[in-house]
Structure 1
């Protein structure tokens, strides 16, 4: 969205009670009031107090009925309140002021999407794309709506265009349930391959890590990596770990020369990278910390529990080794630590049994 004072508003009139000048435009006391109300409404939206936000935007619009920024946010607030007809009406008001506003066409399409009126949603997206053909999110939404409307081939073409404009949309697409109907399409499978290659390029070279960062399921990853291996784009290795067998992947040197590789912390080349394993002393230390974590959780000792989890996550101590060998458990430890830091004793009191049980199960797994 453009800055509020970066353009001339339709409400700027010769008879306004001007008192300030900025960039050649006159800013009145009413301008300041409406912007303050607008900002208050945005803050209410961030707090998910959408009815309060609507009241703020309405007060802002009493001062200037053509204040586009407030109209857009008001429509979006009504959308969050599931007041879809009102949201459409508000967005139509904006389009009467600025028919070539791609953001509003996209938002209007989103309302129709939530109402499951995919045909109307597609029409809105087409308007947005016509106005701004380089809007990756417009193409992404267009792909969703086409796929949901049963036009899967067209949807995949739109999705490819979206990914060409922004590679991050590939990762988003493989998690998006809107594309469930396209999962057997060859184009969609190629998008999964792109996501996996990009994940490996960034250093996520284990099956567990790819599961976490992409949201794909194990079968999809193994199917895609097998296809990529057959195409000569990656090498699959199966290695033994404490949790059993683990698949590890390497991009071929030919592919690396074309797309590059994210810099790794190790100065050694990819092919000489060795799996890091625990020493017997480290296993004993980690086991003791996990047991103490379980005990401190049962007692409701927040400070000691946080200290223990920090030892498990700290890369200088045990964090790196746990991440490499127990990726899923490392993720859970991070989540517990974040929630305990944020919500404190209240969260611990409500989840002490779950946390204690997790620590004991992880200790059992490490001991084998």
Structure 2
């Protein structure tokens, strides 16, 4: 049939298909499909199977940095550190300023207790993206392990400025054993206690439960916060007993806002978690529609929802940190390059949201 069509010269016949272009489209579609499959396998902790899928993608496109990063991450958690480093180095051969690859590479060296190498890598990550909060946090860990106390504290402060949740992470991180006696670190503990009260946990027991800080440290932090006039102590009756409760100073509470929970901070988190995930899922539907319509203004506006900590950003960071970072990057590039960039990366962006949506569905099924 193909030969007979080529022999005809009738101008009314449809133009022959550009097989080169068609093959490229098919290859791109196949990569997207395989990437989704690999991400699902990672979510199910089937890491060896995920590595095989990412390897298939790389055979099709050796420059697929997303597949290389995920392959490296999977190999890292399989304790194949040489394989992980090889994957990250391939990414850096393609894009030497890839901050995520440098940060992940630093974690391999950290796991091998090669702290100077880890520090060198994470500093390159920060050079590529100075707003990468997790890289600053990791830098603080490595510096602490190298007993570079002042620099460690400064890096930790920077990471907390970018994401306050790093404060809560730090107070129970054994890597900071060298700096926990420092007064600057104790102020970070105070910040975590203060934030716990702001979120509605008003008793010592509830604060200990939510922060994993020792009772003695919580009591010490509460004393200092009261001395500074940031927290006030009250007494409330619970049955026949009286218990001490702690609240943010009223004038400050009015400025920063507080969340109300039960007296001992035992409000169930599950409904809030479900609601947050459902909110993300609904926004994904709206975002995917905007992407299909190629409505750049609406896409950028929706991306802001996923990034803004006051909206969906907190949930995204807690549940989908890597995807949160990718959405932030896509937003910057869409603002810079517009429709041309969207057309070139449409399937990849849709694939990202498809994978997040799949994980949300799985989480909701497990929680409801």
TM-score (norm 2): 0.64
Q: Determine the structure 2 residue equivalent to 1:17.
A: 20
* 2:64 corresponds to: 67
Task: Please identify the structure whose Cα radius of gyration is greater.
Answer: 1
Question: In structure 1, what is the Cα distance between the partners aligned to 2:233 and 2:170?
Answer: 25
- Give distance in 2, aligned partners of 1:119 and 1:198: 33
1:151 aligned residue (148, 153, 157): 148
Matched, 1:262 2:258: yes
Q: How far off is 1:169 after superposition? A: 1.5
> 1:17–1:29: 8 Å Cα contact kept in structure 2?
no
Alpha-carbon contact 1:140-1:162 (below 8 Å) kept = yes
How far is the alpha carbon of 1:109 from its aligned partner? Answer: 0.7
Counterpart Cα distance in 2 of 1:194 and 1:29: 52
* Corresponding residue of 1:108: 105
Structure 2 CA distance, aligned partners of 1:106 and 1:43?
Answer: 23
Summarize the Cα distance change of 1:243–1:50 in structure 2 as closer, same or farther, 3 Å threshold. Answer: farther
Q: State whether structure 2 residue 81 is matched by structure 1 residue 84.
A: yes
How far, CA to CA, are the matches of 2:166 and 2:31 in structure 1? 36
Q: Please provide the CA RMSD for this pair.
A: 2.8
Q: Could you tell me which residue of structure 2 aligns to residue 235 of structure 1? A: 232
Indicate yes or no: 2:197 matched with 1:200: yes
- What runs of 5+ residues in structure 1 fail to find an aligned partner? 1-14, 21-26, 265-319, 335-340, 344-368
Any gaps of 5 or more consecutive residues in structure 2?
1-17, 272-364
| Offset from partner CA, 1:282-310 (integer Å, 9 cap, x none) | xxxxxxxxxxxxxxxxxxxxxxxxxxxxx
Tell me the equivalent position of 2:263: 324
* Bigger RCO of structures 1 and 2 (CA < 8 A, at least 6 apart): 2
Give the paired residue count: 258
Higher helix share: 2
**Equivalent in 28, 31, 52 of residue 28 of structure 2:** 31
Preserved contact between residue 231 and residue 246 of structure 2 (Cα < 8 Å): yes
Q: Distance in 2 between matches of 1:247 and 1:159?
A: 32
Distance 2:56 2:145 in 1: 38
CA–CA distance in 2 between the matches of 1:125 and 1:242?
Answer: 53
1:118-176: per-residue Cα shift (whole Å, max 9, x none)? 11111111001111111111111111111122112211110101111111211221222
1:185 paired residue among 182, 200, 204: 182
Give per-residue Cα distances to partners, 1:262-286, cap 9 Å, x unaligned: 254xxxxxxxxxxxxxxxxxxxxxx
What's the TM-score once normalised by structure 1's chain length? 0.64
CA distance in structure 1 between the partners assigned to 2:268 and 2:140 by the alignment: 32
Deviation at 1:244, TM superposition (A): 6.0
